[in-house]
Amino acid sequence: MKNYFSSPFKLGVLGGGQLGRMLLAETQKFDVYTAILDKSLEAPCAKKCDEFHQGDLLDFDTVYNFGKKVDLLTIEIENVNIDALDKLEKEGLTIYPKPSNLRVIQNKASQKKFYKDNNIPTADFNHYAYLEELKHSYENDIIDFPLVWKAARFGYDGNGVKVVRTIDDLESLPAGECITESLIPFKNELAVIVARNTNGESTTYPVVEMEFHPEANQVEYVICPARINDTVAKKAQEIAIKVADAFDFVGLLAVEMFQTENDEILVNEVAPRTHNSGHYSIEASYTNQFEQHVRSILNLPLGNTESKVAGIMVNLVGAEGYTGNVFYENLEDILRIDGVTPHIYGKKTTKPFRKMGHVTIVHEDVNKAREIAQQVKETVKVISK
């Protein structure tokens, strides 16, 4: 096996946001030389990596030229130029996750089709090349409200997802390619992170439960372990592994799922990378998701995904009504509480609902952790000054 540790080996990462920043803590631990490409000199990773390159992740030449400088390429965001990755891969560069997987996942229509083709349970959907096609279907009574509209590409953190209840809602949507699903009543939104290395070894993290902000459609609390019964948890993990196996995936795959009223599990979507739903693992797990990502793409043995204690993550997002230089109000107050750890991502300016950091709450008792999480949420405010 190649010795990555303290060798001239260079890992390249597309994207320099908070996920990259937390990944860097792990590549530092393993002493893996890490180069990062991001469009902004003020990206959270810019000053934290061994080598920073500024450039557009969607530009062919930029991604291609960056790829030529590294020994192994990975991503921290999936919206990157896949054509460049295809060419790099053909020329012999190892890229995890694989470009072919990213291509399927980058487009929600092809992602949904992939689930259907592989007998992975997911909500039925319709696919439209343009919004006009969707309007046409509605006008011809082929579909009806309410429905869930999703942009086929470049959705992120709930952007690109809308519940459509009226013709006005429909009129306000962007014009491009999209899918629709019927609005399924569900009990819980769950997620399972699967790690899979090139040997095909895979591990799953415990099932987590996600509580969403009702308006912004962003995760507010991620709770590990999910407060669901063992049968449902086992089913969710099995489906997550089935998805990863179907992709022949290498790296970390976060599988988001709905638990329906009658305890069916439906795959909602996947993220082919470290994920917000796994941030709790830094404090709670034997092996955190960022270390596990490093292990999986370097084809090292995968670590233990069990938790030492229960963990809950609260996102720190910009408060409504504040745009400008960020100020974390009352952060000191939450540091007084046992088991509370803030992670500040180092973004200089806040705006409403921008992810600025997160706080992890760990406790032996998940219900106690949930109480503290509420208290944390009500105490800290991300404002501008």
- Which residues are known binding-site members? 108, 150, 181-184, 189, 268-269
H/E stretch holding 106: helix 99-106
Taking the chain, what is the end-to-end CA distance rounded to the nearest angstrom? 52
Can residue 31 be called a binding residue for a copy of itself (CB under 8 A)?
yes
Residue closer to a copy of itself by CB (options 28, 118) is: 28
C-alpha–C-alpha distance, residues 240 and 244, integer Å: 6
Residue closer to a copy of itself by CB (options 51, 378) is: 51
H/E stretch holding 64: helix 60-67
Angle at the Cα of 239 from the Cα atoms of 117 and 154, rounded to 5 degrees:
65
Can residue 55 be called a binding residue for a copy of itself (CB under 8 A)?
no
Q: Could you say which of 345, 353, 369, 377 contacts a copy of itself (CB under 8 A)?
A: 345
Q: Could you say which of 55, 155, 225, 342 contacts a copy of itself (CB under 8 A)?
A: 342
Under DSSP, is residue 102 helix (H, G, I), strand (E, B) or coil?
A: helix
- Count of positions on this chain that bind a copy of itself (CB under 8 A): 44
Under DSSP, is residue 71 helix (H, G, I), strand (E, B) or coil?
A: coil
Return the structure tokens found at 180. 């629709």
Whether the CB-CB separation of 221 and 313 falls below 8 Å is answered with: yes
Q: How far is the CB of 105 from a copy of itself (least distance, A)?
A: 28
Piece of the chain touching a copy of itself by CB under 8 A; list 130-138, 152-160, 252-260, 286-294: 286-294
Can residue 286 be called a binding residue for a copy of itself (CB under 8 A)?
yes
Q: How far is the CB of 160 from a copy of itself (least distance, A)?
A: 28
The partner residues of 198 in beta bridges, in order of sequence, read none
Whether the CB-CB separation of 101 and 246 falls below 8 Å is answered with: no
Residues that bind a copy of itself (CB under 8 A): 1, 3, 5-6, 21, 24-25, 28-31, 47-48, 50, 286-287, 291, 295, 300-301, 303-304, 308-309, 325-328, 331-332, 335-336, 338-339, 341-348, 357, 362
